[in-house]
Amino acid sequence: MIKRMTYPAHARAILALGVPLVGSHLAQMMLHVTDTVLMGWYGVNELAALVLGSSSFFVIFIAGSGFAQAVMPMVAAALGRGDEAQVRRDARMGLWLSIAFGLATYPLFWWAEPILLALGQTPEVAALGQEFLRIAGLGMVPALLVMVLKSYLAALERTQVVLWVTLGAVVVNLGLAWVLIFGKGPFPELGVTGAAIASLAVQVATFVALAFYAALLPSLRHFHLFQRFWRADWPALVQVFRLGWPIGITSLAEAGLFQASALMMGWIGTVELAAHGIAMEVASLAFMVHVGLSNAATVRAGRAEGAGDAQGLRDGARAAIAMSVVYGLSMVALFLALPGPIIALFLDASKPEAAAIIAFGTSLLAVAALFQMADAMQVMALGLLRGIRDTRVPMIAAAISYWLIGIPCSYVLAFRLGWGGQGLWLGLTLGLICAASSMMLRFWVRAPRVLA
C-alpha cells in the first residue's frame, strides 16, 4: 500500500524540484532580457528587429521543444516503474528528434527577410531581423539539445545543476553581448549581429556543460545516456514522437498567439512594437515561475502515474495549483502598482522615443495583470496533463482557444473597434481564459480514469 503524503510534504517536494527550475527558467529569460535591454539602449529599429527575430526563433524553438518536453514525463514514469533502461532510451531518442528538427528548420532563418516583409514589417526591420536570424538560427540544434538534457535531469531530480549552468550562461551572455553589440575593446560594433553571435556561443557552451554533467557524474553514469548514441531504439523514438509532437503543436499554438500579436503590433507602429516587446518580456519573466512549478508538477505527476498512486496524483496537483495561484496574485499587484518604473528599466531615458514607449508599455502591463491568472492556470494544467501523458486533447483545446478565439478577438478589438494595442492584448486575455478553463477541466476529468 502506498503511503499518503500530506499537503505540506507535497508542497516541499514540488518546491525542491520547482525552485531550481524556476530559477533556471528566469535565468533563461534573462538571456533574452539582457539582449532586449542592451538593444533598447542601442536603437529603436534594432530593438524592433531583435523583438521580431528573437520571437520568430522562439516560435520555431517551442514547436521543436515538444520532443524535449515529452522526455520529462516519460523518464519520470520509467523511474516510477523502476525501468532504468527505458530512461536511457527515451532521453536518447529525444536527442535524436531534436537534432532532426533543428536541421530541418534552419532554412526558415536563412530566408527570414522575405517572410517578415510578407507579414507586413518595414524593409529596414525585416533586413535587420534576417541578419540576426541567420546567425542565431544556428543555435536551434544546441538549444533543443539543452532542453532535452534539462528535461532528463529534472525527471532525475537533478535540477540544481540546471540552475547553475543557466545562471553562468546569463553572465557570459551579458558580457559577450555588451562587447559585441557596442564594439568594446578590440571588437567592432556589430549591433544585432553581435547579439546573435553571443546567443549562439552561449547555447553551444550550455549544451557542452550539461552533456558532460549527464555523462560523467558518478551517480548518473549507470544510465549510459551517450553510450552507442548512434544506435536507434525505434519503439522509444515512436513513443517520444507520439507524445512530443502534440506538445510542440500546443506550445506553438500559444507561442503563435504572442508572435501574431507582435506582428499586429508592428502594423500599429515601431514605438508600439518596442513597448510591446518590453511589456512581453516583463510578463514572460513573471510567467517563468509558473512554468517552473508546472515542470515540477509534471515530474511529480509522472512519478505518481508510474507508481499507480492516484491519491498522490490528486494531492500533488492541488498543492501545485495553490502555489501557482498565490504567486500569480502577487504579480497582479506588482503590475498594477509599478508599471511605469518597470518599463523604464529597459530604456535609456535620454532617447527621444523613451517617453512614448514608457507610456504605451504602462498601459499594456495593466492588461497583462488581467491575464496573469489565466496564463498560470493553463500552463499548470498542461504540466499536469503531460505528467499523465495526455497531450492530444490539450493540443486541440489550445488551437481552438488561441487561434479561433484569441487571435480573431485581438484583431477585432485592435483594428475593427479601434482599441489599438490595449485591445490587442485584451484579445490575448480571452484566448488564455478559454485555454485555462478547458485544460483544467480536462485534467480533473481525465486523471481518475488514467489510474482507474
Length of the chain: 452
Q: What is the pLDDT of residues 40-64, one digit of tens each?
A: 777 777 777 787 888 788 888 888 8
Q: Is the pLDDT of residue 1 over 60?
A: no
Q: Is the pLDDT of residue 3 over 70?
A: no
Query: pLDDT class for 323, splitting at 50, 70, 90?
Result: very high
Residue from 56, 62, 160 nearest 118 by CA: 56
DSSP state at residue 403: I
Q: Nine-digit cell at 194?
A: 553581435
Residue from 269, 51, 18 nearest 159 by CA: 18
In angstroms, the CA 416 to CA 398 distance is 25
pLDDT (0 to 100) of residue 408? 93
309: alpha, beta or left, given left = phi > 0 and alpha = psi -120 to 50? beta
Q: Decide: 155 and 72 in contact? Cβ < 8 Å.
A: yes
In angstroms, the CA 111 to CA 396 distance is 30
Q: Decide: 188 and 225 in contact? Cβ < 8 Å.
A: no
Axis crossing angle, helix 192-216 with helix 159-182, rounded to the nearest 10:
160
pLDDT (0 to 100) of residue 193? 83
* CA-based radius of gyration for the chain: 21
Q: Count Cβ neighbours within 10 Å for each residue of 187-209 and write b for 16 or more, e otherwise.
A: eeebbbbbbbbbbbbbbbbbbeb
274 by Cβ neighbours in 10 Å (0-12 / 13-18 / 19+) ranks as buried
- In terms of DSSP H, where are the helices of 345-419? 354-387, 392-399, 407-411
Enumerate the domain spans of the chain.
8-450
pLDDT (0 to 100) of residue 396? 93
Q: How many CA atoms lie within 13 A of 118 on its CB side?
A: 5
Axis crossing angle, helix 140-155 with helix 159-182, rounded to the nearest 10:
160
Q: Which whole number is the average pLDDT over 159-171?
A: 87
In angstroms, the CA 73 to CA 66 distance is 12
